[in-house]
Structure 1
């Protein structure tokens, strides 16, 4: 792969990594509740989902999935319902001190949340079936190029998780009062619900 191609890919890809979305919102909220390290570890759940998508895209199976309207619709509906379920739980959640959140912490559970959000988002499939292939030269080894682009995407995704986690740490200082925390939770729940509704109504 030409170096200039990679230099074009990195900023365009990072813009996608940093775009506000359910997973990045989850990283922000996890950092606010549990700290930077936990939010970063939980983020590896979404990386696992993206690894699967990259492997599927490299083998061509993701294109088959994308062109299959029934499978694509099923993923979209499941992803939207999961977003709405998370929004409902977050809206009704009790406000508890950070110390209580840490005692009730389940890293595995947080990683599963990240994985489910990423895997249930059909727009993520489009990144690997429509965006990444634009930077692949079919005259050269496609698998190697896709592997490099996929690895670069994952590294940039880790950076994005870390940046949102840092923002979450600052929010922890601002939302020290239970009333403010409840408002923040409901704002996040509203965003998740809107994302779920938008996913259900979207044609792609």
Structure 2
């Protein structure tokens, strides 16, 4: 079969398409010519053009039927999927770096995890982490479906959420400040009271997470940078949310483990009392920061 090819800046792609898909009929396979800087649909651009070897008629076609790529007339392996894969890996590594940085910086969730781990032990602190995990999933989902943008667009609504978050954190700070040293472990007399106590730890983690409206702003700004609108949304969202939540769980678990190890050295009355007051003051400061920070 005599197939002539036309070079455009050295890039040539052969295609196998039905004869009816070109404007000028002939008994040769058409040749798709792609200029430099333009890629295939599904990778970096929307379409390219088919050109008959005997005519100048051009018709836009999708890139799903593209087969081996030539560069300078030499047959090589298609390079655009590799480029796309490398780009996706680079973007994902950037996202992972951002997630690690954000979750590792001490904030209300970290302080609460340290407090619960030192008071109750590592295993109980996991409930606090799971509560925070659920809150972040809810906020991330709200941001992904567009409700986050609606909340951010309403300054009065966003301010109201910040006030509520401030009230909760200040309340939690006062509660921790006044916590007696004797409540080291959750060992109530009945299973019902034990369940309520464990649920209280979970609710604290959930409350600290859900009371931070700035998380909505963070997710609303972050996700669009790493979601490709040309691809299916749900798989991309699941990868992003599971990644950041998985990293958050590992980071908070590390804080909890280190705190549990250090707990015996702070189990005396004076060190623990000082720690409770320091932790309570930190929660109060976090709450006030929600109001006064821009």
Do the structures match in fold with TM over 0.5?
yes
RMSD over equivalenced CA pairs, Å: 1.5
Higher relative contact order (CA 8 A, sep 6+): 1
- Is the aligned partner of 1:128 residue 2:212? no
Aligned counterpart, 1:178: 269
Aligned counterpart, 2:125: 39
**Partner Cα distance (1:148, 1:60) in 2:** 18
Contact 1:5 1:135 in 2 (8 A): yes
Aligned counterpart, 1:75: 161
More displaced stretch, 89-98 vs 32-41: 89-98
Which is greater in Rg?
2
Contact 2:113 2:125 in 1 (8 A): yes
Q: Secondary structure at the match of 2:229?
A: coil
Aligned residues: 201
2:103 to 2, 13, 17: 17
Which structure 1 residue ranges, 5 or more long, are not aligned?
none
Which structure 2 residue ranges, 5 or more long, are not aligned?
1-84, 189-193
Contact 1:80 1:199 in 2 (8 A): yes
User: How many angstroms does 1:123 deviate by?
Assistant: 1.6
Q: Which 4+ runs in 1 deviate beyond 6 A?
A: none
Q: Secondary structure at the match of 2:186?
A: helix
Q: Secondary structure at the match of 2:274?
A: helix
Question: Deviation string for 1:70-101 (max 9, x for gaps)?
Answer: 22111100111111111111112211152xx3
Structure with the largest fraction of strand: 2
TM-score, normalised with respect to structure 1:
0.92
Aligned counterpart, 2:91: 5
Contact 2:144 2:223 in 1 (8 A): no
Contact 2:227 2:237 in 1 (8 A): yes
Structure with the largest fraction of helix: 1
Aligned counterpart, 1:153: 244
Equivalences for 1:67-146 in 2 at 5 Å? Answer: 67-96=153-182, 98=184, 101-104=185-188, 106-146=197-237
